[in-house]
């Protein structure tokens, strides 16, 4: 992958860029909720993995859970709860205050720096809308279009979600 990126940047096909991975802390209430959800998800995952191993299914674990969630019975209810809790935990992380604050900070800096550019990738359309409205409220939304700032929706499904 890196060699393809280098080849693309040499003839000017790709603008130089940096990727920042920023580790953020959850607020105490967010951390407590995350821990609670994680404990419950772990318990359900262990139970469901045992059922999955005992089943004749050739599906992977998450695909099997999605199939079971559509059925009635104990495994169906547990799988549905597992998927629901995993999605709630995922949304908690998407909506974390620190993530929101840092993202707005990056956008703000890209507006004030004449050479600034920012592309924000996000998994949630709702959070993109919230970021957009907050940027507008802070008065730097009109500037975003002039500095080539882009906020991109990156769809995620449970089958791509490895945190459960």
pLDDT in tens, 149-162: 445 545 444 333 33
pLDDT band at 19 (very low <50, low <70, confident <90, very high): confident
Quote the pLDDT of residue 163: 38
Where is pLDDT greater, at 21 or 146?
21
* Across 47-51, 60-64, 115-119, 146-150, least confident range: 146-150
* Across 27-31, 74-78, 134-138, least confident range: 134-138
Angle between helices 74-94 and 28-54 (to 10 degrees): 150
Contacts of 53 (CB under 8 A, 6+ apart): none
Contact by Cβ (8 Å): 83, 158: yes
Where is pLDDT greater, at 35 or 134?
35
pLDDT in tens, 83-108: 999 999 999 998 999 988 988 888 78
Of the candidates 141, 112, 107, 140, the one whose C-alpha atom is nearest the C-alpha of residue 122 is 107
Q: Report how far apart, in Å, the C-alpha atoms of 49 and of each of 78, 90, 91 are.
A: 11, 20, 24
Quote the pLDDT of residue 29: 97
């Amino acid at each position: 992958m890196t060699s393809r990126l280098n080849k693309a940047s040499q003839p000017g096909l790709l603008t130089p860029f940096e990727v920042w991975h920023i580790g953020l802390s959850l607020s105490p209430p967010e951390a407590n909720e995350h821990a609670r959800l994680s404990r419950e998800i772990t318990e359900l995952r262990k139970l469901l993995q045992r059922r999955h191993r005992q089943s004749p299914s050739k599906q992977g674990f998450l695909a099997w859970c999605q199939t079971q969630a559509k059925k009635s019975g104990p495994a169906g209810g547990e799988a549905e709860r597992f998927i629901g809790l995993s999605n709630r935990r995922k949304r908690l992380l998407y909506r974390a205050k620190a993530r929101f604050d840092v993202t707005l900070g990056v956008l703000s800096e890209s507006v004030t720096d004449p050479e600034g550019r920012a592309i924000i990738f996000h998994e949630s359309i709702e959070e993109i809308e919230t970021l957009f409205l907050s940027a507008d409220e802070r008065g730097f939304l009109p500037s975003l279009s002039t500095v080539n700032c882009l906020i991109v929706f990156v769809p995620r499904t449970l089958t791509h979600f490895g945190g459960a």
